[in-house]
A and B are shown apart, each in its own frame.
Chain A
Amino acid sequence: MDLSYSAEYEEFRNQVRQFLHENWRPEDADAGPPPDSQAALMGAVIRTDERATQFRLKAIERGYLYRHVPKRYGGGEQPPNALKAQIIADEFRKAKAPGEMIGQGASMLVPTLVEHGTEEQKQFFVRDTLLGKIMWCQGYSEPGSGSDLASLRTRGVLDGDHWVINGQKIWTSNADTSHWMFCLVRTEPDAPKHDGISYILIDMKTPGLDVRPLRQMTGDADFNEVFFDNVRVPAQNIVGKRGQGWIVSRSTLKHERALIGGSLMHRRTFDGLAMLAQAVNLRGEPAIKNPAIRNRMVEVESKLLALEYNQYRLLTMGARGEDPGLAGMVTKLYGTQLSYDIARLAMDVLADRGLMAPGEGSAPAMGMFLTAYMWSLGVLIAGGTANIQRNVIGERGLGLPRDAATKR
């Protein structure tokens, strides 16, 4: 049990710091477009302007970014080393330097293409995706196919050398700003459910696509519905074979769950809550002095610490080549519950100030908690609802049988 890094890794850390010092100045961090708030909360810098791109190219060339992607497709191509990856992420975050792109393209589509794509697809898409030049959305869920995604009905029929696609996708984050979509389409209507799906890449400029914003309960529209009306897609845009889309897609959902369950965002939110509780008063004294609030602050912090130290344990299991098992399976469920615990405590700290809509003039300075209170419900559902998580944990983690009488 050792939380320090050995001399070899401290030397590596120094090299990373030296690289950052030479290639990314603090002024660079301040110039450039304002950060997306969600990404900023995670400490990520995902800008894609020219300065950021130049830096990323250097960082990739040094093997600091996209270590899991081959060089010939624009990646950093390094032997897997969980500790080095962690050191790089920490130092880049501290320097506010552009890191790997967050979101469906770099973390989901790229590993899928690297594993299943043709050479042409890899050459065409991967490098530009890693640099944020191509932005992706995920065409998976449908109004009739959420948790039971494999029941999806958007149809693809081969007409000469084009797929003709008709149907509808929902909950498509960023469809309005994306260049391309990776989409699950039913192309083998007579095959069994899971064997009838194909994974197809679709240019969002293709005629027949209609993207409509989907307003969520927070009032914003981060999601979209996408309607397909005889959308013609070149046949070579399929990834993997016909009917193999379900297998091809499996790797991406694993990544998405890891994305949503990380602990850094929770730490920043909790630290913000601690500041809030010291800054706002309840009946004449700081909220943090209220015995019930104090107790719940420590209770919530305890859960956060357990999650953070679980991350250390996962990092070590990765470095040792051990299967993470339950420790890896529970993080999304645990993390989303924690998000709610933090948001709920924040609402109690705010008390009647919590009535204000975010952005309202008299809303407290830390109005993000008002949004978080609603948003924490969204993350409970996104990327696999909590009950689906519980099924996965029960079945794959504890060896319990699958639900009886379910048509799979």
Chain B
Amino acid sequence: MDFGLSSDQLMLKDTIKRFLDEQCPTTRVRAIMESDSGHDPKLWNGLAELGITGLIIPTAQGGSGLELLDLALAAEELGYAACPGPFLGSSLATVALVEGGDAAQREQWLPKIAAGKALATIAIGEEDSRWDPAMLTAKVVDGKLSGAKPLVPYASSADVFIVAAHGDDGPGLWLVERGAPGIEINTLKLIDMTRHVESVTFRNTPATALGGAKTALQRTIDAGCILIAADAYGGSRRCLSMTVDYAMQREQFGQKIAAFQAVKHQLANLASEIEPSLSLYWYAAHAFDHIRDQSERHAAIAKAHLSDLFDRATRDCTELHGGIGFTWEFDLHLWFRRAVFDRGFLGEANYHRERAAKLAGW
């Protein structure tokens, strides 16, 4: 019984953190997020060189052969740094290929993804916040995909799309390559400027079914829930840390504001919620690979719980900063915006709680 990180995992986290401290300070976050693409290939290559794109790719295809917990640790550090870029979409497309691709598809794409040479993305959600496989309307008929996907991460930069749609056998995953006919991409402006999504419409676009396990679509959604939970944890932890630092510097009424009991108590309340939530995301990530019958439900629970917490954390921390927290120039809103992304992408908290209720048989 060892509910903790291994020394390898601690080293992984530390390596990523040190890279991001150096290569992704908030000045760079802002520069990237204010660019049109919201994507810095140099930064992304740096992360690929660290092994981030290949963490869960088998070693035979050039990856590290690790598990979802390791990928979630990376998500946590990227969340802590508000790192802009296609990590989420790439990670979910990778899960889909690892779990759902056949041997040829895996051999064709995974090595390139691991090396950072191909950017993959995921297209699941549809209008009205439909993220449930059974409710999707995108369809593949005779190898041609048609449907609208309003929230596709970094679609313009992607070399390959993994798309959720209904085929003859029901909902599944399909692979579409960049440049295929019938793809229309419209850019969107999001509150979160560090994680772009675009609206993609497919019209009779040639698509290849992923030939592996049919469970891959749900597993991809579960992985997404867990990675968002980890991002929310990293972001919450960052906001708390910034706010403690600020409260220890800012003086009003002749003392540090940290000495005011109300301020102290708000920070203590936050800390007491954030701390146990770490164990919740760890368990969900561990269950993904090791406790399959608890995996889907825990993923839903972790996503709902942590995205709610991140929302509260960013609000409380902004409040505790007073006026400066509300400025563009101050960095706190970077995480506020990421919390907005986390609460909605893959579906809102109430939806996931309802899923968890159903999965409990209630």
User: Which listed residue, B1, B264, B280, B301, touches A316 by the CB 8 Å rule?
Assistant: B1
Instruction: Please choose the segment from A32-40, A237-245, A306-314 that sits at the chain B interface, where 4 or more of its residues have CB less than 8 A away.
Output: A306-314
**CB <8 Å contact, B6 and A404:** no
Residues on A with C-beta less than 8 A from B283 are 305, 309, 312
Residues on B with C-beta less than 8 A from A331 are 276
Instruction: Please measure, in the bound complex, the distance between the C-alpha atom of A86 and the C-alpha atom of B1, giving whole angstroms.
Output: 10
- For the complex, is A159 an interface residue (Cβ under 8 Å from B)? no
**CB <8 Å contact, A393 and B272:** yes
User: Which listed residue, B1, B271, B353, B354, touches A398 by the CB 8 Å rule?
Assistant: B271
Residues on A with C-beta less than 8 A from B343 are none
Instruction: Please measure, in the bound complex, the distance between the C-alpha atom of A302 and the C-alpha atom of B337, giving whole angstroms.
Output: 24
- For the complex, is B244 an interface residue (Cβ under 8 Å from A)? yes
**CB <8 Å contact, A302 and B290:** no
Residues on A with C-beta less than 8 A from B255 are 404
- For the complex, is A17 an interface residue (Cβ under 8 Å from B)? no
**CB <8 Å contact, B271 and A326:** yes
- For the complex, is B69 an interface residue (Cβ under 8 Å from A)? yes
Instruction: Please choose the segment from A97-105, A291-299, A339-347, A361-369 that sits at the chain B interface, where 4 or more of its residues have CB less than 8 A away.
Output: A291-299
User: Which listed residue, A313, A319, A333, A401, touches B258 by the CB 8 Å rule?
Assistant: A401
**With A297-B362, A299-B353, A316-B1 given, is the CB distance from A400 to B248 under 8 Å?**
yes
Closest to B2 in A: A2
User: Which listed residue, B69, B259, B353, touches A1 by the CB 8 Å rule?
Assistant: B69
Closest to B283 in A: A309
Instruction: Please measure, in the bound complex, the distance between the C-alpha atom of A309 and the C-alpha atom of B291, giving whole angstroms.
Output: 14
User: Which listed residue, B4, B259, B305, B356, touches A303 by the CB 8 Å rule?
Assistant: B305
**With A305-B283, A327-B275, A393-B272 given, is the CB distance from A400 to B244 under 8 Å?**
yes
Instruction: Please measure, in the bound complex, the distance between the C-alpha atom of A307 and the C-alpha atom of B276, giving whole angstroms.
Output: 6
Residues on B with C-beta less than 8 A from A277 are 362
**CB <8 Å contact, A330 and B362:** no
CB of A19, distance to nearest CB on chain B (Å):
20
Q: How many residues of B contact A (CB 8 A)?
A: 49
**CB <8 Å contact, B3 and A326:** no
Residues on A with C-beta less than 8 A from B304 are 298-299, 302
**CB <8 Å contact, A397 and B271:** yes
Q: How many residues of A contact B (CB 8 A)?
A: 55
- For the complex, is A229 an interface residue (Cβ under 8 Å from B)? no
In chain B between 1 and 38, which residues have their CB closer than 8 angstroms to a CB of chain A?
Answer: 1-6, 9
- For the complex, is B117 an interface residue (Cβ under 8 Å from A)? no
Residues on B with C-beta less than 8 A from A294 are 353-354, 357, 362
**With A83-B1, A302-B304, A310-B275 given, is the CB distance from A394 to B353 under 8 Å?**
no
In chain A between 328 and 380, which residues have their CB closer than 8 angstroms to a CB of chain B?
Answer: 330-331, 333-334
CB-defined A-B contacts under 8 Å, sample of 17? A1-B5, A1-B286, A3-B291, A86-B1, A277-B362, A288-B357, A295-B357, A297-B357, A297-B362, A298-B304, A301-B356, A306-B277, A309-B3, A312-B279, A313-B282, A391-B261, A399-B248
Closest 3 A-B residue pairs measured CB to CB?
A309-B279, A330-B272, A312-B3
